[in-house]
Structure formats: C-alpha cells, structure tokens
Chain A
Amino acid sequence: GAGVSQSPSNKVTEKGKDVELRCDPISGHTALYWYRQSLGQGLEFLIYFQGNSAPDKSGLPSDRFSAERTGGSVSTLTIQRTQQEDSAVYLCASSWEPQHFGDGTRLSIL
C-alpha cells in the first residue's frame, strides 16, 4: 500500500518484557516521527528522524525507550523492561505537511 504501515497492530505483553514496534514509512519520505497517545490523552512526541541528521530524541520518556531508522526507511521503536504506564497507542508518521500517520500499535502491558 501507499500509506505508512505499522506492525504489530496490537501487542499484549507482560511487565518487564522488551517490545519492538515497527514502522514502514511512505517511500521517499525523509522525515519520520514516533508519537504515543495514552487513553484520553493528547499526542506525546517521542522521537523525530530527518534524513541523515542526528535524530531528535528529546521526547523519549526514559532510557528504556530507543529507536533506530535503518537505511533511511524502516524504523523500529524498542521499549525495554516494559512498565504498565507504557500502555498506549504508538503512532508513526512520515513527512510533515501533511503528516501521514500509520494506524498505530496498541500496546498493553499486563
């Protein structure tokens, strides 16, 4: 498809486990963003990749969170030692005007 693709769409895991979330942006889009949205809350910026520049990691809430973008395309957001407060919808978006969002990964930590 032509849109931003995220996987998995749903993930349920136990507290303390590591999880990896994947984002496949629109081909050719150099900008890629990760956000999360907790239930009833607004979007929280996590990290921003722009081309070959160093990523803006200013939104990552703790050192348990990390993200990489290989070859300027696919990105992986990794959460280590998950906590219950990590439960949220994690959204990936590419480009910026307009932003094209994926459908998100619903992460539930038991």
Chain B
Amino acid sequence: RKEVEQDPGPFNVPEGATVAFNCTYSNSASQSFFWYRQDCRKEPKLLMSVYSSGNEDGRFTAQLNRASQYISLLIRDSKLSDSATYLCVVTGGGNKLTFGTGTQLKVEL
C-alpha cells in the first residue's frame, strides 16, 4: 500500500461547481498534513496546511480525519484558474514529507 494515496482524476467540473478531493495515508503516526497545488510544468506550491480542527481559506476548506486516516480538500465556486493538480502531503518520521501522486482538476466553461 502506498504511504499516501489519491485518486488521479481528472475531475472535470463546470465553473462554479463544488468539488472535493480525498487523500488517504497509511502511517497513523503522521503529524502534519498539507495540500499543494502544481500547475502544468511548474513546481508545487503550498496551498494550505490541514489542521485537526479543519480550516478554511476563502473558497478552500481542508479537513483531517485521523480515525479514518484521510484528509480532504473542498473547493467551492470553482474558477477556471483552479485547474491544476492538487497534491496531498503528509509528514512521517523526522519531518520527511511524502507526496501523493496528485489529483488533476479541470474546470471548464
């Protein structure tokens, strides 16, 4: 089983739609969780950290479920500019980050 698993997609959604991604992780001792965004042929960039209580940043909401070992990212009112690959990132021992393979989102007119 992979340490971090994501549905690769692509998720094709119309502008204005709400879309949600899940990511599961295998190491129950994982401490920190993040969502990164990667545009085509660009390096990944941090989108948001994921806190135990859940957190929101504008149209983006991230949640953590430790019991089921998954994190989620919800995007409301999606924009064309949200089209990208969303990477789930989990820390293991020694603060080493493990990236999922990413979920591709395509927002269409």
Contact = CB atoms under 8 A, between A and B. Distances in A.
Given A42-B87, A43-B87, A102 B95 contact: no
A96 B91 CA distance: 9
Interface in B1-54: 32, 34, 36, 43-46, 49
A43 B44 contact: yes
Contacts of B94: 48, 50, 53, 56
B102 A42 contact: yes
Interface in A71-101: 91, 96-99, 101
Contact of A99 (B97, B101, B102): B97
Nearest to A6: B43
Interface string B74-109: 000000000000010001001111111110000000
Contacts of A42: 87, 99-102
Contacts of B99: 35, 42-43, 45
Interface residues on B, range: 10 to 19
A98 B96 contact: no
A101 B44 contact: yes
Contacts of B102: 42-43
A109 interface: no
Contacts of A102: 43
Contact of A96 (B87, B95, B100): B95
Contacts of A104: 43
Interface of A: 31, 33, 35, 41-43, 45, 48, 50, 53, 56, 91, 96-99, 101-104
9 contacts: A43-B102, A96-B97, A97-B32, A98-B34, A98-B45, A99-B36, A99-B44, A99-B46, A99-B97
